[in-house]
C-alpha cells in the first residue's frame, strides 16, 4: 500500500511507548480535525448484515450482540496488545494498525492507529508514514522487520519466509517477539474480517477513537453492551 504524503521523514527513529504522551503543536496528531490520510476504500453504507442490539460501531456493536464470543476475543487482545512484553504497547498497536490498513478495515485501522499515535511524540504522522512506505518510515530496524513479517502474514501464513525471520533476529528481535507479531497479525486479519464481514459501521470522525485511545487500561476493562456509548 502506498500513498503520497507531504510529511518530512525524521532522521532519528520514532519511539512508541507504553502510555500516552503529551503532545505539542508539532505532534502531527491534528486530532480531531481529520482521519488518518490512508486510503481504505468506500465506507459501508447499507448497514450491518444482521440486526444488532446497539448503535455502537465496529466490533463494539458485535461484542454487545454476542457477549459469549466477546469475552475470549477481548482476552486475546488484552494479552497480545497490553500484556507483559519486550515490545511496547505502542509498537504492538502499530502492528495491529498496519495489518488493518493492509486489509482496508476502517474501524480497526482508525481504532488502533489512534492507540499507536497517542503513544508517539510524532502522533498520527508515524502511522501514515508506515502505511505510505514502511522502508522509509522513521522506525528502528527491529520494528520494521517485525512489520514486514506482519505484512507477510496478512498476505497469507506461508508468505512468511525464513529470510523474514532471520532479518528480524539480526535486527534484535527475540523469538517471543516474532511469535507475538505473527499472532497479532493473524488475530487482526480475523478481527478485520469479523468487522467487515458483517458490514458494521465505522465513523469517520477521529474524535470517536481518540478518547478510548488515551485510556491506559486494557481491553478487558472496557465494557460493551447495548447501553454503552461510543
**Residue 126 is assigned to a structural domain of this protein:** yes
| Kind plus residue range of the DSSP H or E element containing 8 | none
pLDDT by residue (tens digit) across 187-202?
999 999 999 999 999 9
Compute the average pLDDT of residues 149-169.
Answer: 98
Whether residue 28 is contained in a domain is answered as no
What pLDDT is attached to residue 5?
39
| Any domain includes 152 | yes
Which is higher by pLDDT, 195 or 33? Answer: 195
- The span from the CA of 142 to the CA of 118, in Å, is 21
Residues contacting residue 26 through CB under 8 Å, at least 6 positions apart: none
CATH of the domain at 131: 1.20.1290.10
Within-domain flag for 162: yes
Q: Is residue 84 pLDDT above 90, yes or no?
A: yes
Write down the pLDDT at residue 107. 95
Nearest to 104 by CA among 188, 152, 41: 41
Please provide the DSSP assignment of 145-166 as one string. HHHHHHHHHHH-GGG--HHHHH
Query: Does residue 201 contact residue 48 with C-beta atoms inside 8 Å?
Result: yes
Does residue 9 have a pLDDT over 60? no
Asked, for residue 33, whether it belongs to a domain, the answer is no
Q: Is residue 66 part of a domain?
A: yes
Exposure of 159 in the CB half-sphere (CA atoms within 13 A): 12
Please, are residues 45 and 119 in contact by the beta-carbon 8 Å criterion? Answer: no
Domain count across the chain: 1
State the pLDDT at residue 37: 87
C-alpha cell at 133: 512506505
Indicate whether 144 belongs to any domain: yes
Summarize pLDDT for 15-31 with one digit per residue, the tens. Answer: 999 888 865 444 555 55
Indicate the average pLDDT of the chain: 87
State the pLDDT confidence band at 32, using cuts at 50, 70 and 90. low
pLDDT at position 220: 77
Q: Domain range spanning residue 93?
A: 61-213
Percent of the chain residues past pLDDT 90, beyond the cut: 66
Using CB atoms within 10 A of its CB, is residue 49 exposed (0-12), middle (13-18) or buried (19+)? exposed
The answer to whether residue 83 sits within a structural domain is yes
Closest Cα partner for 90 from 158, 6, 14?
A: 14
Amino acid at each position: 500500500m502506498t500513498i503520497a504524503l507531504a510529511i518530512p521523514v525524521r532522521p532519528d527513529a520514532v519511539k512508541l511507548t507504553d502510555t500516552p504522551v503529551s503532545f505539542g503543536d508539532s505532534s502531527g496528531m491534528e486530532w480531531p480535525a481529520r482521519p488518518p490520510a490512508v486510503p481504505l476504500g468506500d465506507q459501508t453504507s447499507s448497514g450491518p448484515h444482521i440486526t444488532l442490539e446497539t448503535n455502537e460501531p465496529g466490533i463494539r456493536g458485535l461484542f454487545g450482540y454476542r457477549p459469549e464470543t466477546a469475552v475470549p476475543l477481548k482476552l486475546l487482545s488484552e494479552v497480545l496488545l497490553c500484556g507483559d512484553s519486550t515490545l511496547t504497547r505502542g509498537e504492538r498497536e502499530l502492528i495491529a494498525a498496519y495489518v488493518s490498513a493492509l486489509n482496508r478495515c476502517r474501524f480497526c485501522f482508525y481504532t488502533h492507529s489512534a492507540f499507536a499515535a497517542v503513544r508517539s511524540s510524532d502522533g498520527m504522522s508515524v502511522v501514515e508514514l508506515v502505511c505510505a512506505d514502511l522502508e522509509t518510515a522513521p522506525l528502528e530496524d527491529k520494528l520494521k522487520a517485525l512489520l514486514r513479517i506482519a505484512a507477510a502474514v496478512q498476505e497469507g501464513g506461508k508468505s512468511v519466509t525464513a529470510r523474514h525471520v532471520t532479518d528480524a533476529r539480526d535486527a534484535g528481535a527475540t523469538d517471543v517477539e516474532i511469535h507475538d507479531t505473527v499472532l497479532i497479525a493473524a488475530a487482526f486479519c480475523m478481527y478485520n474480517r469479523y468487522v467487515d464481514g458483517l458490514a458494521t459501521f465505522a465513523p469517520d470522525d477521529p474524535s470517536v477513537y481518540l478518547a478510548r485511545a488515551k485510556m491506559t487500561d486494557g481491553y478487558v476493562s472496557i465494557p460493551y453492551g447495548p447501553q454503552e456509548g461510543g
